[in-house]
Amino acid sequence: MNSLSQPRICISLCEKTISALQRAIEGAATLSNLIELRLDCLDADERETGLPILLQTLEQFGCKSILCLRAADQGGRDEFDIETRRSFWSREFPGDSFLDIELDLVEAFDSRTLDERQLIPWQRVICSHHDFAGMPLDLIRLYERMAATPARVLKIAVQANDALDCLPVFQLLARAQRDSRELIAIAMGTAGIATRVLGPSRGSFLTFASPNKALPTAPGQISVGALNDIYRIDQVNALTEIYGLLGFPVSHSLSPQIHNAAFGKVDRNAVYLPFEVRDVAGFIKRMIHPATRELDWPMRGLSVTSPHKVAVMEHLDWIDPVATEVGAVNTIVAADQALHGYNTDVAGFIKPLRERLGDLRDARCAVIGAGGSASAVLWGLKESGASTTLFARDLSKVSSLAERFGASWQSLQGAQFTGFDLVVNATPLGTAGPSVNETPATSAELNGAGLAYDLVYNPTETRFLREANAAGCKVLGGLQMLVAQAAEQFQLWMGEEPPLEVMLQAGQKGLG
């Protein structure tokens, strides 16, 4: 296995039958020479008779392998007690496949007599532990317990509920390097994606991938295509600059596709990652701010999205006057041991709008929403000389926000948009996920309006835009704004002109 090149991507396969697993191996072999076979996914009769066939198939395609028989509490697809697993792993496994054996069984084998212990090929054993509940309080003790076994490689996978949970995982990788122990450390879930992309560059023995995005075998597992094509993992190393998206949720975002494509085009050693964050203060202090972060990594900047555009401001050292007036930050630059905040939403919003409507002076504009995005829209329209009316359900925020930007305001309940030249959806309603079928306005309410502009970009055609089309409105989706504001971010981070066409194409590809 030492001949494998870094970073090591292991494609994890989970199928019910030997024939399906053989087909999956054939497809995966074109993408990686290391494949994990989840034998616990197989039907029982297939598992007992099919292992020699699978090993022959792997040899046929020139693949190395990791064999797993997961217990249910370790993410397995079937109930296996310790005696069943002990019996399975006690047989002889020809070849050089790694054997992924859970910690409890490794310790059981290690406690047997010397002769019995010597029957286990410890140089091929991965001692593993999975915790799907969250981050164990005794993570270091768990690692030390595993390190005391004769297994060659250790694997610890824990559930991340916040991107801040990636910190102890990265710290554990650093500890293993100091101890000269081979370790796979992963934070599962969307909040842990950074550990999957950066793991090999920070000492992880390998990272796992699914054969495609529809077949993950663990929470947050990325497809091998995304690891290679979006994150360019083969080029990520200890010197790679880190950028990312701070928000909650972030899984729908196209920003990783857009920014990573731009970095690749200009040949920059940089990667852009999604960071799903609940605890903004802790994340900024412990992982981002150059003066206080507990992680030695080249963090250079962040995009900020809902719901953190306002909350993040109190944790910055300097804020651009435009962002201060808007009252929201969507871009952070880490420089000179400080964090600087900017707002590129304004420029991103206005540019495609002017391309569609031209001069906005005296245009009648309706803005739906009362968050950070609405603030940027109101500021941009005010600076363009437009007349604005703010609509929202939460009236406790509306009057003060409208007053700040010289706008009138109304309740969204029962609103009618007849006569408005522009209606902007500045809420997250309609975004891919739980609210995908929601809209802040129906066709009956939009009837008689001019242009409907949805800042939501995923999906391409939101329900708001469908309702606007039905009402006879012209429509403008959010992808153009996303790319325009991302281009402004790129310039702030890189100090050079952004590759706009590449960024737009990446966004369009990401939307399917």
Q: Residue 331 belongs to a domain with what CATH number?
A: 3.40.50.10860
What range defines the domain where residue 436 resides? 350-477
The full DSSP string for 155-201 is EEEEE-SSGGGHHHHHHHHHHHHHHT-EEEEEEESGGGHHHHHHGGG
Residues 67 and 200 in one domain: yes
Residues 316 and 363 in one domain: no
Residue 3 is predicted with a pLDDT of 39
Domain assignment present for 389: yes
Residues 373 and 471 in one domain: yes
Residues with a catalytic annotation lie at 309
Domain assignment present for 152: yes
The tokens for 101 are: 């054996």
Domain assignment present for 127: yes
Residue 114 is predicted with a pLDDT of 61
Residues 173 and 123 in one domain: yes
Whether the link from the prior residue into 298 is cis, omega within 30° of 0, is: no
The tokens for 426 are: 């500045």
Residue 392 is predicted with a pLDDT of 93
Give the Cβ contact number of residue 450 at 10 Å.
17
Residues 455 and 358 in one domain: yes
Residue 6 is predicted with a pLDDT of 54
Residues 333 and 425 in one domain: no
Residues 421 and 447 in one domain: yes
Residue 332 CB-density burial (10 A; 0-12 exposed, 13-18 middle, 19+ buried): buried
Domain assignment present for 487: no
CB distance 98 to 66 below 8 Å? yes
H runs (alpha helix) in 363-462 = 372-383, 395-404, 443-446
Residue 507 phi/psi, 5-degree rounding, is -65, -45
Residue 1 is predicted with a pLDDT of 40
The torsion region of residue 203 among left (phi > 0), alpha (psi -120 to 50) and beta comes to: left
Q: Can you give the CATH number for the domain in which 87 is found? A: 3.20.20.70
Residues 233 and 127 in one domain: yes
Tens of pLDDT, residue by residue, the chain (512 residues): 433 445 689 999 999 999 999 999 999 999 999 999 999 999 888 887 888 999 999 999 999 999 999 988 888 877 788 888 888 898 888 888 999 999 999 998 887 766 667 788 999 999 999 999 999 989 999 999 999 999 999 999 999 999 999 999 999 999 999 999 999 999 999 999 999 999 999 999 999 999 998 888 899 999 999 999 999 999 999 999 999 999 999 988 999 999 999 999 999 999 999 999 999 999 999 999 999 999 999 999 999 998 999 999 999 999 999 999 999 999 999 999 999 999 999 999 999 999 999 999 999 999 999 988 899 999 999 999 999 999 998 888 799 999 999 999 999 999 999 999 999 999 999 998 899 999 999 999 999 999 999 999 999 999 999 999 999 999 999 999 999 999 999 999 999 999 999 999 999 999 98
CB distance 477 to 461 below 8 Å? yes
Domain assignment present for 262: yes
Enter the pTM of the model: 0.92
Helix (H) or strand (E) holding 260: helix 255-265
Choose among 479, 452, 480: nearest CA to 466. 452
Residues 184 and 251 in one domain: no
Give the Cβ contact number of residue 118 at 10 Å.
10
Domain assignment present for 483: no
Residues 230 and 297 in one domain: no
Residue 215 is predicted with a pLDDT of 84
